[in-house]
């Protein structure tokens, strides 16, 4: 299965295509490539989700009048510490010091999924009514990204299970296992 990310207009479309694929018909190397591509997708989803959560925490703080606009910068560490703990599934292959490991095509697909100019999401209004609308928009996008991350994790776990079963049944050659 050769996937060209440019063929898809959203992460949802990409994940749907992978879910419909008959993975049992793929060889071990193809399953590994698919899994690695999904790791990239998950990394990008996770990064943008954390950014949106930060913007959301700042917007909620400004909306609640805890801080005057001029105090937001000084209060940023405490604002961001109040946010929800990140629900993250730790993976043994991810290192916190690795940085972001995803391609521009994956990033573009995530931004298309967000459906807006990403840079405009963090431009928060000074007017409370508009700020409340922006909070709702940020919450909606955070929920979308969280849902896509969970779906991506499930597919990665399914692919990993298939790889393990193949290795246990000796359906993979020694060369495929080593490489």
pLDDT digits (tens, 9 = 90+) for 18-29: 998 888 888 888
pLDDT for the residue numbered 46? 93
pLDDT for the residue numbered 6? 81
pLDDT digits (tens, 9 = 90+) for 148-160: 999 999 999 999 9
Confidence of residue 167 (pLDDT cuts 50, 70, 90): confident
pLDDT for the residue numbered 178? 57
pLDDT for the residue numbered 68? 56
pLDDT digits (tens, 9 = 90+) for 28-76: 889 999 999 999 999 999 998 998 998 888 888 888 865 555 565 566 5
Half-sphere exposure in the Cβ direction for 107 (13 Å, CA): 8
Task: Show Cβ contacts of residue 9 under 8 Å, excluding neighbours closer than 6 positions.
Answer: 112
Which three-class secondary structure string do you get for 30-48?
A: HHHHHHHHHHHHHHHHHHH
pLDDT digits (tens, 9 = 90+) for 71-125: 655 665 665 566 554 444 433 334 333 444 567 788 888 888 877 666 676 778 8
Distance CA 81, CA 2 (A): 42
Confidence of residue 171 (pLDDT cuts 50, 70, 90): low
Please say if the pLDDT value at position 138 is more than 70: yes
pLDDT for the residue numbered 10? 87
Which three-class secondary structure string do you get for 131-165?
A: HHHHHHHHHHHHHHHHHHHHHHHHHHHHHHHHHHH
* Number of Cβ within a 10 Å radius of residue 77: 8
């Amino acid at each position: 299965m050769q996937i060209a990310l440019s063929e898809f207009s959203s992460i949802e479309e990409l994940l749907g295509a992978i879910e419909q694929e008959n993975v049992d018909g793929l060889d071990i190397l193809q399953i590994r490539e698919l899994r690695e591509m999904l790791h990239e997708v998950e990394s990008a989803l996770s990064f943008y989700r954390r950014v949106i959560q930060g913007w959301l925490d700042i917007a909620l703080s400004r909306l609640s009048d805890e801080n005057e606009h001029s105090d937001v910068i000084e209060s940023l560490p405490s604002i961001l510490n109040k946010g929800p703990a990140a629900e993250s599934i730790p993976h043994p292959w991810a290192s916190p010091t690795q940085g972001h490991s995803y391609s521009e095509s994956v990033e573009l697909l995530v931004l298309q999924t967000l459906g807006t100019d990403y840079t405009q999401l963090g431009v928060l209004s000074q007017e409370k009514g508009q700020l409340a609308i922006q909070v709702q928009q940020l919450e909606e996008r955070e929920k979308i990204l969280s849902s896509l991350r969970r779906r991506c994790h499930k597919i990665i776990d399914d692919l990993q299970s298939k790889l393990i079963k193949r290795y246990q049944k000796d359906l993979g050659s020694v060369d495929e296992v080593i490489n």
